[in-house]
Structure 1
Amino acid sequence: MTIPRLSVSLGYWQDRPPEEALVTAEVADRLGYGELWIGEMATYDAFALATRVAEVTGQISLTIGPLPVSVRDPMTIARGVASVAGLTGRAVGVAVGTSSDVVVADWHGRDRRRAGTALRESAVALRQLLDGHKTTFEGEVVRTRGYHLRLPAPESELTVAAFGPSAVRTAALHADRMVLNLITPRSAAALVDRMRDEAKRADRAVPRVAAWVTAAVDPSDAAIEQIRRAVVAYLAAPGYGEMFAEAGFEDLVRFARTRPHPRDLLAEIPRELVAAIGLVGDHATMRSRLAEYAAAGVDEVAMVAASVPDDPGGERTLAALRALA
C-alpha cells in the first residue's frame, strides 16, 4: 500500500500555549521528519519563529508560510527567507497564498480584492528574488523595482497554496509545489487533475502536491473537540462548503450558511466530518486514509497533529505516523 511522504505543520491551536509550537518542532526533528511547515497566524511572526525553531532542532528543513500576498510583498518575503537561511544554515522554503478576509482585511487593514492576481504576480517576482536576481516587476497589483538580495540567495522551493481555479493555475505555472488545505481525498483528486492539465498545457514540469491534514491517533474526546473547533470557520466558505456537502454534510453546510453563532454551529459538527478531512482513528484507519490521498495524486501529507493534555505537542500522534512511514 503506497502512502505519501509525511511532513509536519505547526498547529497553533488556540486552546494551547503558543510556545507549544516549539515542542512540536523538536518532536518532529527528533522523530526524523524531513520538513517542518511554519505558518503565520495570530501569535508568532513566521520568520522569527523559524529562526528560533532552528535553535531547538538539529536538521529538519523549514518551509515558511503560506504567507498572505496581500499583506507581505515579494521583497520582504525574499529578504525574510534569506535571513532565516543565512542565520540558521538550514534549507528554507517558502509558501504563499491569498489567506482570508479576516486576516487580510480585518487584522491588517489591507485590500484583498484581486488576490488571485496578487498571488500570480507575487509568485513570478518572488521566484526571481529568491534566485538572487536584481528584479524589476511591474504587475497590475504587485510592483518591485531594482532590489536584489545582499545575503546569499536561498534558491528556495516555492509552494503555492491553492483551492480555487485561479490559484490552481498559478501553482501549475509558477510553483515547485501546490499545497491543499483541509481537503478530502475526492476533492484533492479533482484539484490535482486540474493542476496537471494546466501544467501540461503550458509544457511545464508538473509541480508536486502536498495536503495539510489534521491528525490524531486513537483520539481522545479532547482531540476530537479541538479538530471540530478548527473546522467551524470553513463550513460556510465558498468552495469548502461545496466540498463538505459533496462529502455528505449538505444539511450542516446549509445551516452554516445561515450564519449561526459559532457555538451553535460547533454543536452540530459530527465526528464523521472530522474523519472526512483528517487522519483520525487507529493505525489501520490512518494507513488506509493515507493511501486514499496517495491515490488522489497527493505526494506529501503535512500533518497538523492535535495537541491536547494527554498528547502535548502531538508527540504520540507524530510517533505513530512516523512508524507508518
Structure 2
Amino acid sequence: MVTRWGMTVPLGGVSLAGHDSVFATLTEAGFTDFWSSEVNGADAFTPLTLASVWQPQARLGTAIAPVFTRGPGLLAMTAAALADAAPGRFQLGIGASSPVVVGDWNAVDFTQPFARSRDVLRFLRAALAGDMVDETYETFQIRRFRLERPPATPPQLLLAALRPGMLHLAAAEADGVILNWLAATDVPQALAEVKTDKPDFDVVARIFVCPTEDHEYARTVGRRMIAAYLTVPAYLEFHRWLGREPSLGPMWKAWAAGDRRAALAAIPDEVVDELIVHGSPAECRAQVNRYAEAGVTVPVMALIPTPELEKDALGVLTALGRN
C-alpha cells in the first residue's frame, strides 16, 4: 500500500496567504506531500516554503523546477534554502520543461535538453553536498562555486523523464524519477526502463484529477488539455512511444494543419478517460490508487477546476484524502 499521498499546490482561486487552511485541510485528510510545478503561475519554491512552516511534518517536492530558467548556482542556492527550512523533508525535482516556457517566456535557448538536464543534475549533486565546483560541463561552465550555506541534509534529486534516454539517466544518477501525462496502464512500460537497485528510489507521478461526476464537463476540459500538451513535441513523441499513434494520430494531423476544432473532436473519449482521472472523489481516489498499484511510490494529484471545487473546495479536498 502506498504510504505517501500528494497534492499539487498552490490551488487555483486561493491566494498564497490563504493557503494555511488549505494545507491544514490536506494534512487532516491524509495528504503527506505537497508538490509544486513551475509554468506561468507561482514559482516552484514559495508555496513550499509557506507549507514548510504551516505544516512542519509535510513532505515537499518540486515537479518540476526547470533546468534552463535559473542559472545552476541560483538553482542550487534556492534548493539549499528550502532544504535548510525543511531538513529531510524536501525533494528537488528538475526537468527540461518545454520550448514555450524556456524560450518564449524566459528568453533562454532551449537547446540540448537531455545534456542540460544531465549537467545540472551532476552540478547540483556536488554543489548541494557543499563541494567546490570548478567544472566544464557539456552545456555550461562553472568556475569555483561553493554554497555559503550548504544544507545539513542535502535534498534528494529527482529527474523528470518521459522516454528511455531520460528514464535511464534518472535510474543511473538521480534519487528518483518524475512521470507526467501518462495513464496508470502506462506506468509499467515507463518503469521497465528504470533499472535501479537503489532502495529509496522514488517514482513520483503527476496525475491530473477532475473531481466531478459530470463526465461531459470532464471530457471537454480534458480534451483541451490533451490538445494543448500532447501536441508539444516531447509529449507527442512520448505518447507515440507509448503506442497511442492510432488513437492520437488524427489529433496530431489536424493540429499540424491548424484545424484546432478538428483536433479536439478527434480525441477519443477512451484516451481522455485514460489520462484524466474524473468522477466522484471516491472514484478519483480509487483511480489514483491504480498508479500506486502499478509502481508509483508518490502519486501526486494535480486538480483541474470543477464547479464542485468552486462550491466547496475544502470539502472536496477532504473527500479526496485517505483519512
**Could you tell me how far apart the structure 1 residues matched to 2:52 and 2:200 are?**
31
- Deviation for aligned residue 1:45: 2.5
Structure 1: segments with no counterpart, 5+ residues? none
Relative distance call for 1:181 and 1:214 in structure 2 (3 A) is: same
Out of 208, 214, 226, the position equivalent to 2:202 is 208
Q: Which moved more, 1:251-260 or 1:218-227?
A: 218-227
Counterpart residue number, 2:274: 276
- Structure 1 residues 233-312: aligned runs within 5 Å: 233-236=228-231, 237=233, 238-242=236-240, 243=242, 245=244, 248-261=247-260, 265-282=263-280, 285-286=283-284, 289-312=287-310
**Could you tell me how far apart the structure 1 residues matched to 2:304 and 2:155 are?**
29
Q: Which moved more, 1:26-35 or 1:178-187?
A: 26-35
1:217-248 per-residue CA deviation (whole Å, 9 max, x = no partner) reads 34445555444332222232332442472584
Q: Which moved more, 1:75-84 or 1:266-275?
A: 266-275
TM superposition score normalised by structure 1: 0.82
Q: CA RMSD in A?
A: 3.1
Counterpart residue number, 2:73: 75
1:188-211 per-residue CA deviation (whole Å, 9 max, x = no partner) reads 211101112xx36xxx66832111
**Could you tell me how far apart the structure 2 residues matched to 1:111 and 1:39 are?**
21
Residues 274, 280 of structure 1: 8 Å contact kept:
no
Structure 2: segments with no counterpart, 5+ residues? none
**Could you tell me how far apart the structure 2 residues matched to 1:21 and 1:169 are?**
40
- Deviation for aligned residue 1:89: 6.3
Report the secondary structure of 2:179's partner residue.
strand
Relative distance call for 1:194 and 1:307 in structure 2 (3 A) is: same
What percent identity do the matched residue pairs reach?
23
Counterpart residue number, 1:175: 174
Counterpart residue number, 2:157: 158
**Could you tell me how far apart the structure 1 residues matched to 2:104 and 2:318 are?**
38
Which residue identity does 2:125 align to in structure 1?
R
Report the secondary structure of 1:302's partner residue.
strand
Counterpart residue number, 2:146: 148
Relative distance call for 1:320 and 1:254 in structure 2 (3 A) is: farther
Which residue identity does 1:92 align to in structure 2?
F
Residue 31 in 1 paired to residue 29 in 2? yes
- Deviation for aligned residue 1:182: 1.0
Report the secondary structure of 1:46's partner residue.
coil
Counterpart residue number, 2:137: 139
- Deviation for aligned residue 1:43: 2.2
- Structure 1 residues 110-125: aligned runs within 5 Å: 110-125=108-123
Counterpart residue number, 2:224: 229
- Deviation for aligned residue 1:291: 4.8
1:19-69 per-residue CA deviation (whole Å, 9 max, x = no partner) reads 599365453234232111111111222223332344544532221341111
Relative distance call for 1:155 and 1:88 in structure 2 (3 A) is: closer
